[in-house]
Chain A
Amino acid sequence: MPTGWPKWLLMIVAGACTWALVEIALTPHATRASGQSEYVTTGVFTTAHPTAFAAVKDFVNMHPKHPVQPIAYTHTVHLAKGLQCPFCHVGVDQGPEARIPGVTVCMSCHQVIATDRPEIKKIAAYKARGEEIPWVRVYDYSESAHVKFNHAPHIRAQVDCSNCHSDMTKQTTAERKVDMNMGFCIACHKQKQVSIDCETCHY
């Protein structure tokens, strides 16, 4: 800034900038459409991002690669025992979403199996309190992506789960191994010669 600028001008400038910043920082917060994971309790529901920072993260497509889960669940073990994905993730072959299993599902087996393990005890405690396990979502689309993904048709088309969720038999709690950006989807759709019409997924 050249010398000789009057003080009051500098103040105006500084004021304007800071005000703008504050305004952006306070962008109306958001919750997700019901049926989705993140949920914040406030008086008003908007489609905007919670904070400017969240907006930026979304803009540059940043996601937690390996979120910490309340229960140290191990896919490795369960899959090794021959469990199939739909056993816990009910609905994956019927509709758009796959259910993330809750205490009832877990306890249906662990009533009797390995009840002495600390993690299982945690689950039992949840059940005792009549609470659900607060799993953290791993794979999710940002609100502004406007993507409508439907599991069922993909499974009918023999797309293996590992294509998008990588090999779960090698994971304990799920990790975001695959970066599900539009290029990822398009590449597969092109290769399988299925529709790459925008409205197939975006509506």
Chain B
Amino acid sequence: MLFTSYNFILFLLSLFIIYYIIPKKYQWMLLLAASFFFYSFSGWDNVAYITVTIIATYFAALKIGQLHLQQESYLKENKGSLSKEEKKAYKEKVKSSQKKYLLICLFFDLGILAVLKYTNFVISNINSISRIFNAGEISFLDIALPMGISFYTFQSVGYLVDVYRGKYLPEKNIGKFALFVSFFPQLVQGPISRFDDLGHQLYSGHGFDFRNVSFGMQRIIWGFFKKLVIADRILPAVKTITQNPDTYQGIYVLVGMVFYAVQLYADFTGGIDITIGIAEVLGIKLKENFERPFFSKSTAEYWRRWHITMGTWFRDYVFYPVSVSNAMLKVSKFSREKLGEKTGKRVPVYLSTIIVWFATGIWHGASWNFIVWGLLNCLVIIVSQELEPFYAWFHNRFNVRGKFIFKLFQVGRTFLLMSAIRILDCYRNVPVTFRMYWSVFTKWNINELFNGALLKLGLDKADYFVLVFGIIIMIAVSLAQRSGSIREKLSARPEIVRYAAYVGLFISIIVFGAYGIGYDSNQFIYNQF
């Protein structure tokens, strides 16, 4: 069921009403039922996959939790009678059996994701290699990727590893744990939540609080505005440009990049606003996933403000474990000896970064586009890290660091760089993308921007008018958000202004939204990940 479908809106409204009618202690059960009902629309086989992941993770975490408790009580009982070595040996024994459960469950959960998502990709690569030796071809598996599998798998893995690290005890009630994994708003495209964050909120009842409901509703409407009025309206132009690389080159590639950056931002942040809005109406606070990413002045900063929960997930469950693992410590010792202290230190860090970015890329999609997307991001981060001394030299040569113009330059540079790399999502494959990058420099057709060619991209004057109107509002809101939440500020203003804002936004969605016959409302981009 799409977020932008009438059924979903009906489902949402009825859920809100029932949620606040029934007694608080049944609220989490209602949410669980609603989440599975929502998920069943994407097919019962998908429900089977998510249930399997839930059960496997639940039992593995339970077992690991029990072992923690056993260890604690055992150590407390014979506190005095054990020597340091015995205690250490016992701990090792418990640790290794816990590790066994952890690895089995990880292999299982991530295995499902890998098989469903990457089999065809692997087959196609094998085929392309075998085609060189014109050996036979393997036929493809026709499995549709379950909705949101990448998100709920990562959320379950996060929970399992936290329990293994003893951060908190596992959830005893399988129903409650199932709700944590399948909580429908975040199921489709995140944010990827942590159990100690979301768990208790889901299970504790929430009374009707007008402020929550009104703020939540506003956020939902704001999300729909970005998705329907901006993202879906600019989509045809992005499609025209990126699906006909032979006709649209040179300046069009830049136009395509900027348009796609706008579309992806509006689509993804819009979807997350709807998600967080829904949770807020239900009295649940989800983690913010964006913090005005396009105002960041460097790539590293951009990746701390875009898709934050994914970033922190990869940092806590991939980057740190990898870079602190014994293997990596050995590498750092080896590199420090061979290459000297200063550069030697960097090798393990960069190696872990590459690993993380490769994982991020492949997680985004089963194709070389995304792998290269990840690696390019990694390259930019590493190069800018390496250029630190150059930056330092540059800054004390011309002290422009504070100047507004320089900040503007940095923001512009980061925006263009990120959009350029991000366009890999759209082009058919990597070579085409690189050909397009190259065409930007070689094919000079800037004049095409002004001779009305823009109107042939599937957008007419009216569309551009709406897009400009929408983007200006989006930028204005982001600027205002820097000094506090818009909704707080708005609630302080007189009624007429508030009424105009809420209803104006609502009506502009109804009238200017790109939905209905002729637009066929599109899935959220991140739905297919």
Is the A/B pair a real complex? no
Which B positions have Cβ atoms within 8 angstroms of A? none
Which A positions have Cβ atoms within 8 angstroms of B? none
